Amino acid sequence: MTILGRLKSWEGLLLGLLAVIVVMNILRSPYFLGAGNIANLFQLSIEKIIVALIMTLIIINGEIDLSVASIMGLAACVLAWLFQMGASLPIAIVGGLLAGLAAGLFNGFWVAYVGLPSLAVTLAGLIGFRGIARILVEDRAIGGFPVWFNTLGQQGILGPITASILIFAVLFAIVAIVLHGSALGRLVYVIGNNLQAARYSGVRVQSVKMTLFAASGLIAALAGILYAARLGSVRGDMATGFELDIITIVLLGGVSIFGGSGNLAGVGLSILVILNLRNGMGLANITGNTQTSVIGALLIFSVLAPNLAQNLQRRWIGRKT
């Protein structure tokens, strides 16, 4: 089996890694496998892994959305601002979701119809949407939401399973079906593989890209609102820097940064690896910042490894012929 062939079973690698981490965690803490701990594991990063689902589609499609964390913040701030202005909470929630949708459409417009690179557009969005969020709440912390809102974010509705976890599970299923079963998913791959070939086959490339960015805005907004519910209060800088973790999850899941390849199973495994890794590091009293640098290293490694493997393979073939 070639080196590249072995790496193609990236999921196998992730599975092995996951097994090692889980075993180490179990050895360290007997409570690790408890239902409460596992739910907690998800709950602590639930917003990031929700956004990672839609980010998977965007990266497979050959684009990137750096603005998701800012959209999360924006949606939460719009919600808080509306609530403070006297709107009822359900209306405020809808307002937050609409703000996210608008931000996503804004990104999508520039990327799909003007043809700007998503990297530049969403970098501007990363700064700009955060700016709007800060304008709305300035440096206050807005809280005092109705109890049901906080309960939504914090308390389990099915045993230890919270509404956020349920939403994640449902979204995971939906994204899996869309990506691997629907026409949209097929087109996402086709465009990511070869945009020109897609165009030559009559695929409406622009509307696919627009749909994805709009969905990304909407889902990021939903995640931002869930985050607000979990924290119980909203600040202008909430979710700052989340894009790093989100993109790392997706790339570690075997999705190519150049688009066209990857699947949701890999991303699912990658989510489990990262959650368990963080949890394990937490159990070992490793601080959040070190955890973040480990994640950063994983991000670089997940792109470097296939490159190195390819180099080695090329050298190997070169020697043979």
Residues interacting with other proteins, by CB under 8 A? 64, 110, 114-117, 119-121, 123-132, 134-135, 138-139, 177, 181-183, 186-187, 189-190, 193-194, 196-204, 236, 241, 244, 247-248, 251, 257, 260-261, 287, 289-297, 299-300, 303-304, 307-308
Where do we find the tokens 């691997």? 180
- Give the nearer residue to other proteins in terms of CB position, either 49 or 163: 49
Least distance between other proteins and beta carbon 35 (Å) = 31
Shortest Å distance, C-beta 130 to other proteins: 5
> DSSP readout, 6-26?
HHHTHHHHHHHHHHHHHHHHH
The CA-based angle 186-107-248, given to 5 degrees, is 65
Q: Which helix (H) or strand (E) holds 55?
A: helix 46-60
Give the separation between CA 178 and CA 197, rounded to whole angstroms. 21
Closest CA to 247 of 296, 306, 294: 296
Tokens 């956004």 found at: 51
| 54 versus 121: smaller Cβ distance to other proteins | 121
How many angstroms separate the CA atoms of 122 and 63, rounded?
10
- Minimum Å distance from CB 169 to other proteins? 19
Alpha-carbon span 78 to 98, nearest angstrom = 9
Q: Give 9 or 182: the residue with its C-beta nearer to other proteins.
A: 182
Judged by beta carbon, residue 78 or residue 190, the one nearer other proteins is 190
Nearer to other proteins, 164 or 216 (CB): 216
User: Helices 46-60 and 68-84: crossing angle, nearest 10°?
Assistant: 130
AA letter at 268? G
- Comparing CB distances to other proteins, the nearer of 96 and 153 is 96
Q: Measured from the CB of residue 296, what is the shortest distance to other proteins in angstroms? A: 3
**Alpha-carbon span 321 to 142, nearest angstrom:** 68
Q: How far is the CB of 171 from other proteins (least distance, A)?
A: 17
Instruction: Tell me how far, at minimum, the Cβ of 304 lies from other proteins, in Å.
Output: 5
Nearest-approach distance from CB 63 to other proteins, in angstroms: 12
> Would you state the torsion angle of the CA atoms of residues 56, 255, 107, 88, taken in this order, to the nearest 10 degrees?
20
Name the residue nearer to other proteins (CB basis): 98 or 195. 195
Residue 115 to residues 123, 125, 184, Cα–Cα distance (Å): 15, 16, 20
